[in-house]
Amino acid sequence: MKKRRSSEVSETRILDLKGQTLGELALIYPNDYSLAVANLGFNRVFEIFSKRGFKVYRFVYKTAEGRLQSLDGPRRIEDIKLWLLSLHFELDLLNVAKIFSRMRLPLRPEWRTHRHPVTVVGGALTYFMSPTLLDIFDAVYVGELEPNVEELTRTIFNSSGHGRDRLMGSLAEVPGVLVKSKLYRDEGFLCKDEGATTFARSVFLSKNGAFGYRFLLEVERGCKRACRFCVVGHRMTPARYADLQWVLEELRKGLCFTDKIGLVGPTVVDHPEVETIAEYLYARDIDVSFSSMRADRLNEVVVRALAKRQRGFTIAPEGGSQKVRNFLGKGLNESHILNAMRLGAQHGLRKLKMYFIYGTPVEGEEDLEEIAKLAREAKKLYSEVCVSLTPLIPKPGTPLEGLKMLDMKELKRRERFLRRRLWEEGTHPKFESLKRSMLQYRISNAREGELLSILEEKMRGENNGGANTQF
Ligand code: SF4
């Protein structure tokens, strides 16, 4: 264990590192430290390469200052020949463009020379945007890292010091790696259930993290549901669940550092042993949070554990009416939602947050009104009700692929209606910015070549005083 404090971050590393002699690489998270340290993918990649003998230098992007921040000492990123980028959100690609610009790395891979590093991107976006990402990255690692990590680390080690072309050529031979010269669309290797899937946990703890000084543990990977709007349910399959003994062992380790635990997964309450895990934490008076709770899977044991130290919880009905929920394939009905509300209130929870999607092609005003109605029911039971609303953004790789997002004028009209009605019900509506949502839609649905155009357009706007960067 190593504690590190600087003027910028204070963190505890809970991983022993020995003999990092195989080479060095930069691991970049293109957003702020608070998000990076709370991202288990970022933690996992650090752990995997560090344990295999690489010196991994982490960098995050300070959005307020527009600069890279080094987390592991004074090593200059310009001197590191291999950059791995951990990319999970479409709009973070704008930060990637800014990082490249600041580091004088051409956005177009074909303009790069032997002086430039090789950039490899991995993360959630690779599940549905792989070929497009080659617009700006030299290589894309598609899907989960674990199945091919031995081959990948061997390739990096054997190629280090031999220049950019050799590394690019070798990477192209690694299963799961996509490069322009090997552009194919067989993405059957996205996830592998080999019966030995290993899961991620926090490697660093920091009070600066998005969830505070909380030990995060991945207990589920993939999702067995198949909500029609969700990439996870369609591309990150099959669902796999961490072995109970492993979970308990990791919890014991994490509890040596903190009494705050976060259980992470697309639908944590689907874990077949979730009640045993919840009871274990309840008995020890632990502050536990769940990254996701399906209303139809909540039960006494889980809510009791949550309510021991938390004041509120979150559910995602997604649709206000059954018609919209059916369109979204959410698999919930109104009684699931009302039961979940009652259960939380019975255990003393005082705050409820609900996620909704609006702007579906099937909805009319009466369906939006149903959102207000659910908010009213919630308000009878909770002192604080927050309603978070996002417009429908159809994504590739889902059954909604190809569906057009509603236009701005219509979305604004629906937003105005919902905002008024939800205020009238005494709740706090929080709307995702429509400009940002539209941009997310454009990026996630970009074809090869279009991503580059979008980012160049945004960078030109930035250089012209930000006139084009209001997203
Ligand atoms: S929305 Fe949630 S439950 Fe539905 S497929 Fe996605 S992760 Fe699973």
Please, what sign has the CA dihedral across residues 389, 365, 410, 441? Answer: positive
For domain 2-182, say whether CATH 3.40.1130 is its number: no
CATH superfamily of 208-463: tm_1862 like domain (3.80.30.20)
In contact, 138 and 84? CB cutoff 8 Å: no
Nearest-angstrom CA–CA distance, 395 and 90: 11
Question: Which pLDDT does position 471 carry in this prediction?
Answer: 38
What angle, 0 to 180 degrees and rounded to 10, lies between the N-to-C axes of helices 434-444 and 408-424? 130
Ligand 1 atom having least distance to the Cα of 329: 4
In contact, 365 and 417? CB cutoff 8 Å: yes
Please, what sign has the CA dihedral across residues 224, 211, 1, 160? Answer: positive
| Overall average pLDDT of the 135-146 stretch | 93
Ligand 1 atom having least distance to the Cα of 292: 2
Q: Output the six-digit token pair for 296.
A: 């139809």
Question: Which pLDDT does position 185 carry in this prediction?
Answer: 47
Instruction: Give me the half-sphere count of Cα atoms (radius 13 Å) on the Cβ side of residue 153.
Output: 23
| Overall average pLDDT of the 445-461 stretch | 94
| Overall average pLDDT of the 169-195 stretch | 72
Best residue among 220, 267, 357 to mutate for probing ligand 1's pocket (most ligand atoms within 8 Å of CB) is 267
Q: How far is the CA of 223 from the centre of ligand 1 (A)?
A: 6
Nearest-angstrom CA–CA distance, 261 and 215: 5
Amino acid at 56: V
Candidate from 46-50, 337-341, 466-470 with smallest mean pLDDT: 466-470
Concatenated DSSP letters of 284-300: TT-EEEES---GGG--H
Question: Which pLDDT does position 301 carry in this prediction?
Answer: 97
Confidence of residue 181 (pLDDT cuts 50, 70, 90): confident
Q: For the segment 40-93, what is each residue's pLDDT rounded down to a tens digit? A: 999 999 999 999 999 999 999 999 999 999 999 889 999 999 999 999 999 999
Confidence of residue 184 (pLDDT cuts 50, 70, 90): low
pLDDT, mean over the chain: 92
How do strand 139-141 and strand 118-122 relate by DSSP bridges? parallel
Q: How far is the CA of 149 from the centre of ligand 1 (A)?
A: 27
Q: How far is the CA of 233 from the centre of ligand 1 (A)?
A: 5
Confidence of residue 197 (pLDDT cuts 50, 70, 90): low
Nearest CA, atom 3, ligand 1: 225
| Overall average pLDDT of the 1-7 stretch | 56
Domain residue extents for the chain: 2-182, 208-463
Cβ of 328 below 6 Å from ligand 1: no
- Count of C-beta atoms within a 10 Å radius of residue 268: 25
Cβ of 445 below 6 Å from ligand 1: no
Name residue 356's beta-bridge partners: 318, 389
Q: For the segment 142-179, what is each residue's pLDDT rounded down to a tens digit? A: 988 888 888 999 999 898 888 899 999 999 999 889 99
Element (H, E) at 411: helix 408-424
Residue 81 to residues 15, 383, 423, Cα–Cα distance (Å): 25, 54, 53
Nearest CA, atom 4, ligand 1: 227
Q: How far is the CA of 468 from the centre of ligand 1 (A)?
A: 34
Concatenated DSSP letters of 95-157: HHHHHHHHTT--SSGGG--TTSPEEEEESTTHHHHHHHHTTT-SEEE-S-SGGGHHHHHHHHH
Q: How far is the CA of 316 from the centre of ligand 1 (A)?
A: 10
Nearest CA, atom 5, ligand 1: 233
Question: Which pLDDT does position 418 carry in this prediction?
Answer: 98
Question: Which pLDDT does position 470 carry in this prediction?
Answer: 40
Question: Which pLDDT does position 106 carry in this prediction?
Answer: 97
Question: Which pLDDT does position 468 carry in this prediction?
Answer: 42
Nearest-angstrom CA–CA distance, 455 and 447: 13
How do strand 2-5 and strand 10-13 relate by DSSP bridges? antiparallel
Nearest-angstrom CA–CA distance, 90 and 97: 12
Compare 459 and 21 and report the one with higher pLDDT: 459
Evaluate if residue 33 carries a pLDDT over 90: yes
Nearest-angstrom CA–CA distance, 252 and 455: 45
Cβ of 297 below 6 Å from ligand 1: no
Evaluate if residue 189 carries a pLDDT over 80: no
In contact, 247 and 275? CB cutoff 8 Å: no
Q: How far is the CA of 229 from the centre of ligand 1 (A)?
A: 9
Cβ of 307 below 6 Å from ligand 1: no
- Cβ neighbours of residue 340 under 8 Å, at least 6 residues apart? 293, 295, 296, 298, 315
Candidate from 153-157, 251-255, 262-266, 366-370 with smallest mean pLDDT: 153-157
Q: Output the six-digit token pair for 429.
A: 């509506």
What percent of the chain is predicted at pLDDT more than 90? 83
Question: Which pLDDT does position 271 carry in this prediction?
Answer: 97
Best residue among 220, 221, 225 to mutate for probing ligand 1's pocket (most ligand atoms within 8 Å of CB) is 225
Question: Which pLDDT does position 198 carry in this prediction?
Answer: 83
Element (H, E) at 385: strand 384-391
Nearest-angstrom CA–CA distance, 324 and 75: 52
Cβ of 266 below 6 Å from ligand 1: yes
Question: Which pLDDT does position 442 carry in this prediction?
Answer: 98
